[in-house]
Amino acid sequence: MRALLLLLTAAPIATAQTPPPALVLTHANVIDGIAPQPLRDVTVVIRDGKIESVGPRAAPPAGATVIDVRGRWVLPGLIDLHAHIADLTAARTALASGVTTVRTLGVDHFADIGLRELHRGGAVDIPDVLAAGYHVRPRPSEALFLDVPQLVDLLSAGVSGADNVRRRRSPQGQTSPWRPTRMATKVPTPPCARACARSSTARGSATKRSR
């Protein structure tokens, strides 16, 4: 009995984990961006949100959901590097058009920040968003001053340098990085402030060079 107990104690404990069910696309035509020619009539196995294999027709794994996409094309998601998507309708249209990632370059009321956070929170019907906040330029969008009224002095004077969009006036006259005042509480403001600061620095440098 003692020897059997020691044997059981020393034996490794096997914890078999059942792999998540697969999604299988059959009879697919694939453009993978690598092969010189399209891959025709292949099977695509997707598991846990990732492509597991792309290859000749084969029997699908047990328990898989199988979709016959005969005559259709499968390709990597498109990336839109210059977008001004500001609402859910536009975001959903972009995804339906094959765009899975967008980089926004100026959106009023930090709508792109909100879309980014919705996607991170689990909204799967919109693209991933690389958000920039406001387009910082000599004459910013009037909506900026509704979100950040601390910048009222720039409303008529305009922006003459990067420092003007990296600060807000305090009652004591000191300066500190400004933050939007109308953001939803669950959307963190520091990333927005940092993004705007980076954008303003780049644009400020470009303006100086152009002069």
What is the distance between the alpha carbons of residues 58 and 75, in angstroms, rounded to a whole number?
20
Q: Are residues 62 and 95 in the same domain?
A: no
What is the distance between the alpha carbons of residues 69 and 143, in angstroms, rounded to a whole number?
45
DSSP-derived 3-state class of residue 3: helix
Q: Side chain identity at 104, as an amino acid letter?
A: T
Structural contact between residues 112 and 104, judged by C-beta atoms closer than 8 angstroms = yes
Q: With the CA atoms of 34, 38, 42 and 45 taken in that order, what torsion angle do they form, in degrees rounded to the nearest 10?
A: 40
pLDDT at 41: 94
Given a cut of 60, whether residue 53 has pLDDT beyond it is yes
The better pLDDT of the pair 166, 115 is held by: 115
Residues pairing with 23 in the sheet: 46, 65
pLDDT at 59: 84
Residue 93 is part of which domain span? 77-211
Structural contact between residues 95 and 126, judged by C-beta atoms closer than 8 angstroms = yes
Residue at 4 is within a domain: no
pLDDT at 175: 43
pLDDT at 136: 74
Whole-prediction pTM: 0.62
Listed residue (105, 129, 110, 80) closest to 187, CA to CA:
110
Report the domain count for the chain: 2
What is the distance between the alpha carbons of residues 89 and 23, in angstroms, rounded to a whole number?
28
CATH number of the domain where residue 53 is located: 2.30.40.10
pLDDT at 166: 67
